[in-house]
Amino acid sequence: MPPQPASSAIQIVNPGSSTASASTTVRKPSEPSQQRQCRNVLIYGNCKYEGKGCAFYHPPKSPQAESLPDPNNLARIASPVLAQHVNAPEFVPGALTHGPTVSFPEPVSQGPASRAELQDSSAEEFYAKPSGGALYPLDYHLYTKSAVPVPDQSASKGGFFVAEDIRLELQRRMDDIWAPPVSTVALPEVHHYHSLSPLEPVAGDRRKYFGHWNSICYRAISTSNGSVYALRRLENFHLAHESILANAELWKRIIHPNIASFREAFTTRAFNDSSLVLVYDYYPLATTLFDTFLKPRTSAFTNRQLRTDQLDPIPETTLWSFLIQIANAMKAIHDRALAFRVLDATKILLTGKSRLHINCCGLADLVGLDTQDRATQQQEDMIAFGRLMLALCCRNANIGINYAKTLEFISRVYSQELKNAIHFLLQPPPLATHGTPKIIGQVFDFIGGRLLQEMDAMQLRSDSLEAQLACELENGRLVRLLSKFGFINERPEFARDFRWSETGDKYIVKLFRDLVFHAVDEHGRPVVSLSHVLMHLNKLDCGSEEKLMLVSRDEQSCLVVSYKEIKRCVESAFRELVSGVY
C-alpha cells in the first residue's frame, strides 16, 4: 500500500513570536533555491522595496551589473544581461506592438532539484505525462488562447467570456423560448402540448392556405420531453381519409440544416372545431424573409406628394448565400421524390444574420392536394424558387409577370452569374434544358465558385464560435473549483467541530476564501474585482508554486503557503466529504 501524503496543514503562529517554525516564516535571502526571485529585479534590474518589507529573494549586485545603463530601458529583457550585449540592437516582436500585453508563466526548471520534487506522490496531480515520458506542467493559471486562429478579432473581444454580441443573442433566444404566453384568451391543451402562445395575429387579415383553410401558428411546450415546438393549425379541416396522414412518415425522416424539421401531425377538436395541427421545430426570434426584406414600408406625404422610401439592395453575397441554402434544401427534398409546393418568402425562416430554414414542409401532402404528378410539382418548385430570388433582388414581393424588365434591373445591380441562375430557374423545362426535364442539380452549375465562398464563410464562423466555446471551457473549471469551496467552507453540521473548521486543511481553505472574496483595500472598502478572483483561482487550479500570505480574521496569525499546497488542502477536504471520513 503506497504511503499516504503528508498533511499540508501548517502550524499557525504569531508572526512576532520567536518560536515561529522555519516552514512558516519568510525565508532568508540566503535560500535562493527555495524562494522565488523578485520580479522587479528580473524586469527592472532592482527593487525599490528591497530591505523595506519585500518578501522575495534579491540576489547580490555584481560589479558587472552596476556598470549597466538605466535598467528602465531593459524592461523587455527577462534574463541577466551581459556587458557585451548592452549595445546590441533591440529586438521587439511585431506581435507585441499591437493589442494588450499577454503574460506567460515562467518555465519550470528541469534541473536536478526540480526533478526530485516531481517524484513525490502528488506529482501526477499537477503534471501531465505524455507517451514520450517527459513531464510538463499544467500551466493554466492564465486563460489560454484558443487553438483555432480566429481572423475576425472583433468576434473574440470577450476575452474571458463569450463575446457580448453572441451572449446577448443567446440570452434573447432563451428569453423568447420561456416568455409567458401573450394571448389574453386561455388556449386549450392540445394533444401533449401545453402553454400555447400565438406567433401570428389571431384577428384581422388571416393567412389562408390553398384558398381554403385559415391558419395560425402557436408556440407550445411538449409534456413528453419539455422542448418547445411550433404548431401550425389549419382551422375547419375535415380529414378525407386516414391514409393522408401516412405522408407524414415520409417528411419525418428528412433531417436537413436548412429545413425546419417536421415532427408529427394530428387532428383535434380542442378549439371547438375540426383542426389539423402540424408540429415543427421552433426557432426563437426567427423572422421570415418577407418580414425582413419584402414587407413594404409605410408611405408618408412629403412636400404635398406621396413618397415611399426606397429599400437598399440586399448585398450580393447575402443573395448567393440564400440561393445556395435553398438549392441545397431543395435537392435534398427532390432526391427523395418529394416537393415543397409552398415555397415563398412567408414560409422561409431567417435566424441569425443569414441562416435559412424552410418551414411548412409537407403541408400540401398532408391536406391531400395531389392534383399533379411529382415531376410537375418539382418543376413548379424551381419556378417558385426563381420568383423568390427575383423578389429578393428587387425587394418587392409584387413583381408580376414582367420578368424581362425585372431581369434587366438585376443586370444593372448584380453580377451576370446571379442573373443567369435566376433566369434558368424561371424558364419552363423545354426552354431551359432543350426539352429534357429540368432538375435542381443543374443550378449548381451556375453557382460555381460561390460555393467555395460560402464554405469559407461557414468555416470562419465555425472557428469563431469554437473560440468562444473555449472561453466557456475555461470558465467551467472555475465553476467546479468554486463548487468545492461551497461544499467545504463553514458546513453547519461541523460548526462545533474544532478539528474540521479551525485546524488543518479546512482552515487553510477558509483563509484562502477570505483572501479571494473578502479582501479589503487600504481604506477598508471591499475589493470587488473579477480579475483579482480569476488570478487567484486560476493559480490555485493549476497548483502554482508561487507563495502567498494568508492572514487570519483577527490578524493575529499568518501562514505562508503556495497555491500547490492550498490545492492539496482543497482536494483532501473534498475527498473527506465524499468518502464520509471526517
**Which residues face 349 on adjacent strands?**
288, 357
- Residue 131 grid cell: 507517451
Annotated binding residue 292: no
Asked if residue 46 and residue 30 are part of one domain, the reply reads: no
Pick from 418, 448, 478: which residue ends a domain?
A: 448
For residue 484, say whether it is annotated as part of any ligand binding site.
no
Among 171, 166, 258, 277, smallest CA distance to 215 is for 277
pLDDT at 239: 77
For residue 284, say whether it is annotated as part of any ligand binding site.
yes
Return averaged pLDDT per consecutive 10 residues of the chain, 582 residues in all: 48 45 41 64 76 81 49 40 45 38 37 37 41 44 50 47 79 89 83 91 72 87 94 87 78 94 92 92 94 75 48 91 95 94 92 92 82 86 93 86 79 91 85 72 87 90 85 78 84 66 77 90 86 89 90 86 91 84 61
Show which of 415, 448, 481 is a domain's final residue: 448
Q: Are residues 242 and 224 part of one domain?
A: yes
Compute the distance between CA of residue 398 and CA of residue 204 in angstroms, rounded to an integer.
21
Q: Is residue 458 assigned to a domain?
A: no
218 and 82 housed in the same domain? no
Cα–Cα distance measured from residue 477 to residue 470, given in angstroms and rounded to the nearest whole number:
11
Which of 448, 481, 503 is the last residue before a domain boundary? 448
Q: 169 in a domain, yes or no?
A: no
Q: Is 203 annotated as a binding residue?
A: no
Q: CA 368 → CA 237, 337, 343, distances in Å? A: 11, 16, 17
Is 331 a member of any domain? yes
Q: List own/partner pairs for 561-568 with CB under 8 A and 24 or more apart.
A: 561/8, 561/10, 561/508, 563/141, 563/539, 564/126, 565/8, 565/10, 565/508, 566/8, 566/508, 566/509, 566/512, 566/540, 567/125, 567/126, 567/540, 567/541, 567/543, 568/5, 568/8, 568/122, 568/125, 568/505
- Annotated ligand binding at 541? The verdict is no
Known binding residue 347? Answer is yes
In a domain, 569, yes or no: yes
Does the annotation flag 295 for ligand binding?
no
Q: CATH no. for residue 574?
A: 1.10.287.3700
Question: What is the structure's pLDDT at 342?
Answer: 87
- Asked if residue 46 and residue 24 are part of one domain, the reply reads no
What is the C-alpha separation between 199 and 41, in angstroms, rounded?
Answer: 67
578 lies in which domain range?
1-35+118-136+489-582
Tell me how many domains the chain contains: 3
Does the annotation flag 294 for ligand binding?
A: no
427: three-class secondary structure by DSSP = coil
525 near 565, Cβ under 8 Å?
A: no
Q: Are 211 and 279 found together in one domain?
A: yes
Does 270 share its domain with 293? yes
Q: Which pLDDT score is estimated for 186?
A: 84
- 538 domain residue, yes or no: yes
Closest CA to 293 of 217, 210, 349, 357: 349
pLDDT of res. 126: 39
Give the helix/strand (H/E) hosting 474: helix 450-488
288 annotated to a ligand binding site: yes
The whole-number pLDDT of residue 132 equals: 46
* Residue 466 in domain: no
pLDDT of res. 20: 41
Kindly report the CATH number assigned to the domain that includes residue 371.
1.10.510.10
262 and 352 in a single domain? The answer is yes
Is 292 a member of any domain? yes
User: Is 66 found in the same domain as 123?
Assistant: no
Q: Do both 292 and 429 map to the same domain? A: yes
Q: Are residues 430 and 519 in the same domain?
A: no
Separation of alpha carbons 323 and 255, rounded Å = 19
- Give the separation between CA 339 and CA 262, rounded to whole angstroms: 14
How far, rounded to the nearest angstrom, does the alpha carbon of residue 480 sit from its chain's CA centroid?
19
Verify that 26 and 41 share a domain, yes or no: no
Cell numbers given for 526: 471591499
Using one digit for the tens of pLDDT, what is the confidence trace for 420-432?
999 999 888 765 5
- Annotated binding residue 282: yes
**DSSP letter at 7?**
P
Has this prediction a pTM greater than 0.75?
Answer: no
Same domain, 48 and 28: no
Whether 255 is in a domain gets the answer yes
218 annotated ligand-binding residue? no
